Structure 1
Amino acid sequence: MSSVLLFNKPFNVLCQFTDDLGRETLADFIKNPGFYAAGRLDRDSEGLLVLTNDGQLQHQISDPKHKLPKTYWVQVEGQIDSTAIDKLCKGVVLKDGLTKPAQAQATSEPDWLWPRNPPIRERQSIPTSWLKLTITEGRNRQVRRMTAAVGFPTLRLIRTQVGPFKLDGLALGQSQLIKQTNLLK
């Protein structure tokens, strides 16, 4: 039977179970044997990481050809404007080519948000703003590169959804086991 483990990954935790440098890894939080990450979330990003004990399901979740949408709440430097939102929605040219169109909207800071440790760098003279962004690709550091390309560098990045899997109230550093088959149907 396929099982999925939803994990709310804290900032500065590696998406692997071992590290030769002694940094925090999934092993510091996940005690369920036989689970592997389906996709990655950078060390400096937070939020939903999906793990599974089923290799075929892991491939379905992480393979870009399945185009599972991934939703992020992004805090950026500066006051995001409609021109930047439009560019994100049409696709942004990066060094590795044009991104697929994203769903993007300016929003306010989410009320469910936990404090980040350490806090983001803030400059008194430069405001920050939030956007909700959904992409269907998974290029290396794609969201950060997209927001920088439209003039608004990412300060904080929190993934809240991968396909049908949602963070929904899962506390920071906690996981939730979902036991069922046909999870993506």
Structure 2
Amino acid sequence: MKIERVKNPLILKGELLGFVFRVYQSTGGAYPALEWVEEKPSTDDFEGFKKVYEPFLEFRLRDEFDELYVLRRDGKIIGTVALVYNLKGKDIWWVPEEIKNEKTGLIEFFMVDPEYKGKGYGSKLLEFAVERLKELGKEAYVITFPKLEAYSYYLRKGFKKLMDYKEFVVLKKES
């Protein structure tokens, strides 16, 4: 299985919406957190999810991600990871000013289809992302929520807590 770079991420918007909704369902609505939404859609309401998440996803695919990668199995997306490293001029309010510099590389949109969790695909994607950022001369950061399962996962993978920021926690990969 190969990690593929997506040259035009907006082309995959529909497929990615379905993929992210499967993740949303498997986490009981915990991720994505949809923290800007007053009333989150239920985990069986794809149309409600699409209504609140699609504009955000479109923004991320078009304006935020510098590189997007997918992992496929039998043609189906089973994992994603995005890199954000050109932070200047981007409206990414969840990134603290202290780390907004030319050395910062954010690992974002890191997800594995619930059906494929625990099989090493996440590790493969995360290691790839860290290595890619290293190639670019960037330091790897992750911004996540402290209550998510992902938080302890990142700690196990060698990330260290740098700071709390708003409702998030900022982690940095130790070199």
TM-score higher than 0.5:
no
Task: Give the shorter-chain TM-score range.
Answer: under 0.3
Structure number with the higher helix fraction is 2
Bigger Rg over Cα: 1
Could you say which structure has the greater relative contact order, defined with CA pairs below 8 angstroms and 6 or more residues apart? 1
Q: What is the TM-score when the length of structure 1 is the normalising length?
A: 0.26
